[in-house]
C-alpha cells in the first residue's frame, strides 16, 4: 500500500535509518522522531495523514508507553506497533491493555518488519468499494451518483463526500472536528455550523431514509440503520 505515511519513533538513529530505508523501497512516506516528546509533536502536526506508528518502548524524555497512552486518548483506531527489546509476557500484556496493535521484538528482520507492517495496513485500510449500499441508499463512487430506492438524487460535491464519509463509517459516531478534517480537509477554517447545514440538506434529499443520519449530542453525527 504505497504512499501511506508511517511515523518511525526510536532514539537510535541507526535503527530509524534501517527501518526507513526498507519502508521507502515500498514507497511509504516516512516521518521520524528520536524521543517520546518529539513523537507526540510530530503526531499532532501530522495526525490527519499518519497511517501507522512504529514506536520504540525505551526512549528518553517520554517512554513508548506514555506516548501510546496519550495518542490513544485522541485516536483509538490508528495502528501502533511497539518495538521492544523486552519481549516479556507482562510487558506485552501491559501494552495491549494500553491499546498497542502489535509487538515486534528486537532484533528483528527488516523484511519481516515490512511484511508485518503491510499486513496491518491491509487490515486497517481495506480497499474502498466502488459502491456503497445500505437500506436502499446506493452510492456509486466511480460515477459519483446517489440513488434512493432506484431514484437518482442530485447532490453537490460536498454533500456527496459527507454522505460517503458517514456511510463508510456506519455505526461510528464522528465528531464535527473529524468530519471537517476529512470532508473539508484539515486546512478548512469554517465552523461546525457548515456541517449542520449540509446534514440538513442531505436528510431532506434522502427523504424517509434521512433518519439514518443521527445527531449525537455534544459529538457530531452517525449513520446507523436500526
**Pair 183, 91 in one domain:** no
Its domain, for residue 164, covers 131-223
Return the residue matching grid coordinates 477554517. 189
- Gap between the Cα atoms of 177 and 9, Å rounded: 27
Q: Which of 75, 106, 124 is the last residue of a domain?
A: 124
Q: Which residue has the higher pLDDT, 192 or 45?
A: 45
Confidence at residue 130, expressed as pLDDT on a 0 to 100 scale: 81
Per-residue model confidence as pLDDT tens digits over 53-91: 999 999 988 999 999 999 999 998 899 999 987 666 677
Average pLDDT (141-154) is: 93
**Pair 111, 143 in one domain:** no
**Pair 157, 180 in one domain:** yes
Q: Is pTM beyond 0.75 here? A: no
Confidence at residue 202, expressed as pLDDT on a 0 to 100 scale: 97
Residue 142 gets the label, from left (phi > 0), alpha (psi -120 to 50) or beta, of alpha
The count of structural domains within the chain is: 2
CATH number of the domain bearing residue 178: 1.10.10.10
Per-residue model confidence as pLDDT tens digits over 196-205: 999 999 999 9
Per-residue model confidence as pLDDT tens digits over 201-223: 999 999 999 999 999 998 999 99
**Pair 41, 120 in one domain:** yes
Confidence at residue 86, expressed as pLDDT on a 0 to 100 scale: 67
- Gap between the Cα atoms of 19 and 8, Å rounded: 8
Q: Which of 124, 141, 176 is the last residue of a domain?
A: 124
Per-residue model confidence as pLDDT tens digits over 7-35: 999 999 999 999 999 999 999 999 999 99
Q: Which of 56, 89, 124 is the last residue of a domain?
A: 124
Are 194 and 184 in contact by the 8 Å Cβ rule? The answer is: yes
CATH number of the domain bearing residue 57: 3.40.50.2300
**Pair 217, 182 in one domain:** yes
Per-residue model confidence as pLDDT tens digits over 94-130: 778 889 999 898 889 999 999 999 999 988 887 666 8
Residue 190 clears pLDDT 70, i.e. is over it: no
**Pair 25, 105 in one domain:** yes
Return the residue matching grid coordinates 469554517. 190
**Pair 105, 163 in one domain:** no
**Burial (Cβ within 10 Å: 0-12, 13-18, ≥19) of residue 155:** buried
**Pair 73, 160 in one domain:** no
**Pair 84, 171 in one domain:** no
Per-residue model confidence as pLDDT tens digits over 151-174: 999 999 899 999 999 999 999 999
Confidence at residue 189, expressed as pLDDT on a 0 to 100 scale: 56
Exposure b/e, 44-73, CB count within 10 A at least 16 = b? eeeeeebbbbbbbbebeeebbbbbbeebee
Confidence at residue 128, expressed as pLDDT on a 0 to 100 scale: 66
Amino acid at each position: 500500500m504505497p504512499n501511506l505515511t508511517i511515523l518511525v519513533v526510536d532514539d537510535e538513529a541507526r535503527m530509524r535509518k534501517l527501518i526507513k530505508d526498507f519502508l521507502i523501497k515500498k514507497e511509504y512516506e516516512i516521518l521520524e522522531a528520536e524521543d517520546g516528546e518529539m513523537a507526540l509533536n510530530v503526531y499532532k502536526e501530522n495526525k490527519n495523514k499518519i497511517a501507522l506508528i512504529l514506536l520504540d518502548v525505551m526512549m528518553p524524555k517520554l517512554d513508548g508507553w506514555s506516548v501510546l497512552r496519550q495518542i490513544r486518548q485522541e485516536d483509538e483506531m490508528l495502528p501502533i506497533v511497539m518495538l521492544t527489546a523486552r519481549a516479556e509476557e507482562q510487558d506485552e500484556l501491559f501494552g495491549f491493555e494500553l491499546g498497542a496493535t502489535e509487538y515486534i521484538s528486537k532484533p528483528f528482520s527488516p523484511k519481516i518488519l515490512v511484511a508485518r507492517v503491510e499486513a496491518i495496513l491491509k487490515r486497517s485500510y481495506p480497499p474502498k468499494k466502488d459502491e456503497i449500499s445500505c437500506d436502499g441508499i446506493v452510492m456509486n463512487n466511480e460515477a459519483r451518483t446517489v440513488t434512493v430506492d432506484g431514484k437518482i438524487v442530485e447532490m453537490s460535491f460536498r454533500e456527496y463526500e459527507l454522505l460517503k464519509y458517514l456511510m463508510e463509517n456506519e455505526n461510528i459516531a464522528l465528531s464535527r472536528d473529524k468530519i471537517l478534517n476529512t470532508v473539508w480537509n484539515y486546512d478548512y477554517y469554517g465552523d461546525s455550523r457548515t456541517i449542520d447545514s449540509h446534514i440538513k440538506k442531505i436528510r431532506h434529499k434522502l427523504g424517509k431514509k434521512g433518519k439514518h443520519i443521527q445527531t449525537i449530542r455534544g459529538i457530531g453525527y452517525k449513520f446507523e440503520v436500526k
